[in-house]
Chains A and B, each alone.
Chain A
Amino acid sequence: MFLTAEFSDAPSVGAALRALKAGGFDAAQMDVFSTEPVELPEGLLERPSHMSLAAVAGAATLGILAILFVRYTQYDYPLVTGGMPLFSWWATGVIFYEFTMFGAIFTTFATFLVESGLLKRRRAIPDPVLVAGRIQVRVCCDAGRAATATECLQRAGALNMVES
C-alpha cells in the first residue's frame, strides 16, 4: 500500500523523510512529488545514477565507430590523393570529435528517459496530481507498518494524507 502526505514546505518534507528513515524505511520506498525541484539535505534521499558512465561509454562507442566508418569508406572508394594517405587522422579528427559528442548527447538523453522512469508506460499506481506550491511525500509500506509511517508523516507536519 501507499501513503501520500502533502506538505507546504521543504523543511517539513526533510523532517518527514528523516523520521521515516529513522522508522526503518529506506530511500527506495519514498518518493517526493513537486512542481519545482526540492533541495533536501545531502544524503537524505540518494538516487544513484549511471548517467555519467553511460555518457562516456556512448561517446567512446560512437567516436570509435565513426573512425572505423570513415576509414572503411575511404578505402572502399579510394580517391586519387596525389600520394597523400587515403586515411588521415588529422582530417578524421573533426568527424571523430563530433560523433563522440553526439554519442554523449544521445546516451545522456536516453539515460535520462530510462532513469526518470518516463519510458514506463504502465505504472503500478497512479501518481499524485501535482499542486503548485505543495510537496507530496509518498511512502510504500505494508499494512503492518502503515501506522508508523502515518505517525512519522503527521509529526513532520503533513497537511493531509491519502491511502492508496
Chain B
Amino acid sequence: METTVEMRGDGLRSALWRPLNGLSRAYLLALAVAFLVGAWGLGCWGYQIVRGIGVAGIRRPTMWGFYLVNFVFWIGISHAGTLISAILRLTDAGWRKPVTRAAEAITVFALMIGAAFPIIHLGRPLVFFWLFPYPNSRLLWPNFRSPLLWDVTAISTYLTGSVIYLYLPLIPDLAELAQHATGWRLRLYRLLSIGWTGSDRQWHSLERAMKMMAGTILAVAVSVHTVVAWDFAMAVAPMWHSTIYGPYFVAGAIFSGIAALVVAMSVIRKVLHLENYLQPVHFENLGKLLLLMSLLWVYFTVSEHLTTWYGNSPAEMRVFGERVRGRFAPYFWFMVLCNFVLPFVLLSIRRLRSVATITIAGVAVLIGMWIERFLIILPTLSRPHLPAAAGFYSPTWVEISITASTFAAMVMFYLIFCKLFPIIAVWEYKHVSHG
C-alpha cells in the first residue's frame, strides 16, 4: 500500500517532512549495506552461541576484550543526546532546536547497542535474565553489591528515561503528521500521538514534563557513566583503581557524544538536504563544545597518568609503560592525535573552522575515543599485579565482525528513524514567542 505524508502548510513543514517521503537509490543502498553488515554480525553472534565464547579472542588474563570496549564506547556515545539536549534545554539555548531530536535519537540507539554487549560477552547469553531479581527455582537473588548489577539498574533507568525523553517532544509532531499521512503511516502516527489535540493544557503539561525530565535525565546520565567507570575502578587493578575514574568517564562520554552528534548531523544535513535548518552556526557551537571537552579530556588524561608516574608503583608502572612506550604505545599516541592534536588545531583556529573541518574533528574524536576505551581495558588486564600472569589479547574475526555490525546497526536504526519521524522538531523550531 502506498503511504505518503502530504506536503501542505508552510515551507518549514514541507522542508522538514520531505525526507519522510520517497526512497532514493542512495538511501536504499545505504540501508541494504547496513542491514547486510548487521545481519552478518548477528550471524557471528549465533556462531559464538553455538560454538561457545572460545571463538572470541578473550583468554586468561584478558577476559574483557572488544565486547567490553564496545560496551563502554556505545554507552559513552549515548551521552550525546539526552545529556546534551537536557543541558541545552535547561539553559534555554535557542540554537538547540534543530539539534535536540537528532541527539536524542542517538542516545536511544547507542544505549540499545551498548546494553547488548554485556549479554554478547556472557558465556551463556541465553540466561541473561538471571540478572533480574525475580523469585526463581534456584532460590537465588542477584548480588546487588556487584557493580555489574549497578550497570543493569543504571542502564535500564537511562534507557527508559531516554525513550520517554525522545518520545515526549515527538507527540505534537506525530499528531500533525497524522493529519497529513495516509495508509500505515496514518495508523502509526495516530497510535503514537495518543490523541494529542494541541490544547494549552497539553502544551503546559508537555513543557513542564520536558523540563522535569531534562533535570532528572541529566542526573541519570552522569550516574550511568560513573557506574560504568566503577566497573573498573572498584577492582584493585593497576591504573583502574582511581578516584577520578567517574568524572573522567563522564567527561569522555560527553566528548564522544558531541563528536557523534556532529557526525550524525553532518550526514543528515547532506543526505536529507537540511542545509537551511542545520546551519553552520549549529556546527560552530557544537565545535566549540567539542574543543572544550577535548581540553577537559587532556586535563583528565594528564592527571591520571602523571599521578601514576609520580607514584611509581611497580604494578602501575608496568601498565603505564605498556601504554606510553610499550606494545600499546602506537595506539596511545594515535589516540592523543585524534582526541587532542587534530581537534585542537581544527577547532581553535577560527579560519579553519567550517562544517567540514568540524565533522573531520568529530570523526577523529570518535576513532580516538574508541581507542581510549581499548587502552583503558586491555593494558591493565594484560599486565596484572603478578608479572608471571601477563598475557596478550588479539581479537578474532568474530569480535571484529560483531563490532562492525554495531556501527552498521546504528546507521540502520538512524536511517529508519529519519524515514519515519521528522529529525527536526517542527513545533520546537517554530515555537511562537509572543510573551
Interface residues in chain A, defined as those with a beta carbon under 8 Å from any beta carbon in chain B = 9-11, 14, 31-41, 45, 47, 49, 51-52, 55, 69-70, 73-74, 76-77, 79, 88, 91-92, 94-95, 97-99, 101-102, 104-106, 108-109, 111-113, 115-118, 120-121, 127-130, 132-133
Find chain B residues with CB under 8 A from A34 CB.
Answer: 198, 200, 203, 432
Find chain A residues with CB under 8 A from B9 CB.
Answer: 132-133
Assess A115 versus B198: contact at CB under 8 Å? Given A39-B435, A105-B161, A132-B176.
no
A91–B227 CA distance with the chains assembled, in angstroms: 12
A40, A79, A92, A105 pick with most chain B CB within 10 angstroms? A105
B168, B223, B435 pick with most chain A CB within 10 angstroms? B435
Structural contact, A130 and B198, CB atoms closer than 8 A: yes
Any A CB within 8 A of the CB of B389: no
A132–B10 CA distance with the chains assembled, in angstroms: 8
Question: Shortest CB–CB separation between residue A124 and chain B, in angstroms?
Answer: 13
Structural contact, B435 and A127, CB atoms closer than 8 A: no
Structural contact, A108 and B427, CB atoms closer than 8 A: no
A94–B10 CA distance with the chains assembled, in angstroms: 49
Structural contact, A118 and B154, CB atoms closer than 8 A: no
A11–B154 CA distance with the chains assembled, in angstroms: 46
Q: Which residue of A lies closest to B215 (CB)?
A: A104
Assess A31 versus B179: contact at CB under 8 Å? Given A10-B432, A94-B154, A115-B205.
no
A95–B202 CA distance with the chains assembled, in angstroms: 33
Structural contact, A95 and B144, CB atoms closer than 8 A: yes
Structural contact, A73 and B217, CB atoms closer than 8 A: no
Question: Shortest CB–CB separation between residue B225 and chain A, in angstroms?
Answer: 13
Find chain B residues with CB under 8 A from A92 CB.
Answer: 144
State which of B142, B145, B156, B168 has its C-beta within 8 Å of the C-beta of A88: B145
Find chain B residues with CB under 8 A from A52 CB.
Answer: 212
Interface residues in chain B, defined as those with a beta carbon under 8 Å from any beta carbon in chain A = 8-10, 13, 133, 139-145, 149-150, 153-154, 156-157, 160-161, 164, 168, 172, 175-176, 179, 194-209, 212-213, 216-217, 219-220, 223, 227, 230, 427, 430-435
Assess A112 versus B209: contact at CB under 8 Å? Given A31-B200, A69-B133.
yes
Structural contact, B198 and A118, CB atoms closer than 8 A: no
A31, A32, A35, A40 pick with most chain B CB within 10 angstroms? A35
A101–B150 CA distance with the chains assembled, in angstroms: 13
Q: Which residue of B lies closest to A54 (CB)?
A: B212
Structural contact, B202 and A116, CB atoms closer than 8 A: yes
A119–B216 CA distance with the chains assembled, in angstroms: 24
Structural contact, A77 and B140, CB atoms closer than 8 A: yes
Assess A105 versus B217: contact at CB under 8 Å? Given A33-B199, A118-B196, A133-B9.
yes
A108–B164 CA distance with the chains assembled, in angstroms: 10
Structural contact, B153 and A37, CB atoms closer than 8 A: no
Structural contact, B198 and A33, CB atoms closer than 8 A: yes
Structural contact, B153 and A94, CB atoms closer than 8 A: yes
State which of A31, A105, A116, A129 has its C-beta within 8 Å of the C-beta of B164: A105
Find chain A residues with CB under 8 A from B432 CB.
Answer: 10, 34, 36-39
Find chain A residues with CB under 8 A from B176 CB.
Answer: 35, 130, 132
